[in-house]
């Protein structure tokens, strides 16, 4: 199971559009869990990661995007990362 974390400012007026976009993409990956994180309540994580702005996305704890990508870009990023791991497991 992979974990995609979306860190957003809960007061951002465009937040719902970004969250909906990410939710729609995540539905296409059965082994992917989405965690919607309040960036203001998790400032320690931002500090630890060296992030100074949000929204941003982590996949299994690794920064994959600062800002929310377009739908196709996010789908391609997730497809590449998740399929790459599956291919690596098959080789081993």
- Chain segment 26-64, per-residue pLDDT in tens: 999 999 999 999 999 999 998 999 988 888 999 999 999
CA atoms within 13 A on the CB side of 45: 18
* This prediction's pTM: 0.84
Domain extent at residue 61: 2-91
Average pLDDT, the chain: 87
Task: Tell me the backbone φ, ψ of residue 53, rounded to 5 degrees.
Answer: -145, 160
pLDDT of 92 over the 70 cut:
no
Q: Give the model's pLDDT for residue 17.
A: 84
Domain count of the fold of the chain: 1
Residues 72/79, Cβ–Cβ less than 8 Å: no
Return the CATH number at 23: 3.40.30.10
Tokens of residue 74, six digits: 């996010």
Q: For residues 11 and 73, what is the distance between their CA atoms, to the nearest angstrom?
A: 25
């Amino acid at each position: 199971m992979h974990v995609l974390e979306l860190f957003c400012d809960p007061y951002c007026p465009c937040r719902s559009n970004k969250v909906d976009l990410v939710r729609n993409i995540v539905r296409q990956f059965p082994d992917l869990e989405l965690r919607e994180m309040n960036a203001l309540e998790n400032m320690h994580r931002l500090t630890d990661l060296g992030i100074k702005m949000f929204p941003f996305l982590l996949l299994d704890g690794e920064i994959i995007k600062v800002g929310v990508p377009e739908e196709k870009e996010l789908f391609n990023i997730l497809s590449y990362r998740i399929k790459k791991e599956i291919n690596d497991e098959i080789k081993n």
